[in-house]
Chains A and B, each alone.
Chain A
Amino acid sequence: MHIPDGYLSPQTCIAGFAVAVPTLALAARRVRTVVRTRHVPTLALFSAMCFLVMMFNIPIPDGTTAHAVGGGIIAIILGPWAAMIAVTVALAFQALLFGDGGVLAFGVNVVNMAIALPLVAYGLYKLISGSSALSSPRRILGAALGGYVGLNVSALLTGIELGIQPGLFHDASGAPLYSPYSLGQAIPAMLLAHLVVAGFAEGALSGGVLAYLQRANQPLLKLNHPDVPVDHERTTRKVRPIAVAGIAVGIMALLTPIGLLAPGGAFGEDAPADLDLGKVNLQAIPEGLNKYNGFWHNALFDGYDFGGDAHPWLGYLVSAVVGIAVVGLVVFLVGKLIARFTRHDVEAGVAR
């Protein structure tokens, strides 16, 4: 995610500094009033720590590893303002010592990783943890989700900054002067990797470190949570994963009628005759599309609908519920089968 020099126009880089410098000045003032003379060693040690956190390889279940930035967990321990300075110093090390991220692009990198990430991660953490006790699992969830969303917001910003380049800066022949990919190409490319891999690594690190500190070093957590009680009365019931999964699926099913709002459709989704051929550089409808269109007529809910489009949103809901039930049943049966075969294997192994 570190943008090197050369990918962004100097104008964009200057805009990055214009945002980063005042924000850092504000952060420096906030930190100075809170921790007074202690700020120099505290920030120094946590900046060094922040640099090391970026070096940690987080193990992923498929046998590979990914990196985290660590801005979220530092924000939870030190507060977002101190985290901004710590991550900025770590980024300065990377840019000057290791050529990781550009010098002109430093301001933009600071905005993405040192300002947006800690702010978003900390905001979400506060929102989710609410008034819960310091040792509450809600705080772990808040830290993990904060890390995940914070890193993805950071990646989204990077995608936007790279994506605006070809439209704004190109030569007379239309050739882009800097990063060549448009918003529609840069944003998905950045977000895909972060939504699928790096976000989880960041979330796992934030949540994992918070859980560890809850167990082993609560005084450290107390630094930025002076008024939060360590332990409430244990009145909350344990949340079962199946309940969380059920609620999440239920909400998604209820939201399916949003599909009605989406303009247009996928390429040639409805009738091939409705295709706007000029828009996609075609002279005729592709032969295969014409041939196989309407190949299958026996759908139960054709077009997520029944009863001749009288109640479209009801059609969406019923389709969602039936779809979820069918998929759930298939997954359940496959799971049962796998469990049966593996148990058989284990028993056979024991017998041998």
Chain B
Amino acid sequence: MTELIDRPTTSTPEWLLRAEPGLCPCGCIGKRHKGSFVEKTLRGGASVLRQVVFSDDTATRGGLLQRVDPRVKVLTMVGLLLAAGFVHSSLVLVGLYALTLAAAAASGLPLGFFVKRVWLFVPIFTGIVVLPATLSIVTAGHVVIPLWTWDGTVEGITSQGLATAARLVLRVAVSISIVVLVTLTTPWSRLLAGLRGLGVPKMFILVIGMAYRYLFHLLTVVMDMYEARKARTIGKQKHDKAARGFVAATAGVTIGKAHQLAEEVHQAMTARGFRGDAKTLDAPKLSLRDGVCLLTAAAIAFAALFVDGLLV
């Protein structure tokens, strides 16, 4: 991260690059967070901006994956994710992870940042979640580390449990690395063009593209309201009925504004000739480099499955 900040080309400030661990960063698993709801929401908004600004930074650098056609990248991503899903051997998964690191390095992504971005969220959480599954009371099998005896039966960590835990954590890390590689090396607009080129209906692409455009506008509206609330609160924020009323009213106001904006945007689109269908430019032709990339990915996937078949 530090080498990233030292680079004169990167303008992302350090506070925008901080992150917290969790199963999903949105924290919707019912986990309770300490702290003021105002601060938390403001920090969440900053984190959204941080990730987007950073992705934009890395996606426009010149590197191996940045030069590949987005359609090829999406296909490769899905193919490799499937291969990682079917692989049973932890060794093969380690090999696949090493390959993602090599690809990240070749694409000019700072390795320290890449590793942190992948591991900080889901794999660490997965490691904690899967710990009880290593015990014989969850995953029955051959006990390798006895911990206690329950009326004559030895209970403890089983070899099957350890294998499961290693496999799950590694597979999660490999899968996230593959997705992060694609998203960090592809500008959002090109990723959408790639999805369109692969047959995702035009309506979805239009909606996703426009939603992305207006997401930041609405985010600013919400952040303004929260900052105003913070500015006029003296002392600690209370988590009472009034606070919930404020959150509901903020959401309600934003929904109202979104609706009004949608009407205006629709009128503007109609005035410019929009009749429910959009024309897109023809997708660029695939180059030799794209073909090589596709073949390499296919070879990696088949090799992984073949070696896995030999090992398991």
A residues bordering B, Cβ < 8 Å? 1-2, 4-7, 9-10, 13, 28, 32, 36-49, 51-70, 73, 77, 85, 89-90, 92-104, 155, 166, 171, 173-181, 185, 192-194, 196-199, 204-205, 207-209, 211-213, 216-217, 220, 223, 281-284, 286
A104 and B266 alpha carbons, distance in the complex (Å):
34
Tell me the smallest distance from the CB of B199 to a CB of chain A, in Å: 11
A38, closest chain B residue (CB): B266
A93 and B51 alpha carbons, distance in the complex (Å):
12
Q: How many residues of B contact A (CB 8 A)?
A: 110
A13, closest chain B residue (CB): B85
Given contacts A64-B32, A103-B81, A103-B179, 5 further A-B contacts (CB under 8 A): A6-B173, A41-B210, A43-B211, A174-B140, A181-B138
Residue from B28, B164, B213 within 8 A of A68 (CB atoms)? B28
Contact B160 A174 (CB under 8 A): yes
B219 at the interface (CB under 8 A from A): yes
Contact B33 A46 (CB under 8 A): no
A57: chain B residues at CB < 8 Å are 33, 37, 40-41, 44, 247
8 Å CB contacts to A: which residues of B1-46? 23-35, 37, 40-41, 44-45
Q: Can you offer 7 A-B residue contacts whose CB atoms are under 8 A?
A: A1-B24, A44-B214, A61-B240, A97-B55, A104-B78, A216-B249, A220-B259
Contact B138 A185 (CB under 8 A): yes
Tell me the smallest distance from the CB of A298 to a CB of chain B, in Å: 32
Q: Mark B261-285, 1 if CB is under 8 A from A, else 0.
A: 1110110011000111000000000
Q: Which 6 A-B pairs have the closest CB atoms?
A: A208-B248, A193-B30, A44-B210, A5-B175, A198-B30, A175-B160
A192: chain B residues at CB < 8 Å are 30
B85: chain A residues at CB < 8 Å are 5-6, 9-10, 13, 104
Tell me the smallest distance from the CB of A331 to a CB of chain B, in Å: 23
Contact A63 B239 (CB under 8 A): yes
B265: chain A residues at CB < 8 Å are 41, 44-45
A176: chain B residues at CB < 8 Å are 133, 139, 164
8 Å CB contacts to A: which residues of B188-221? 188, 191, 201, 203-204, 206-215, 217-219
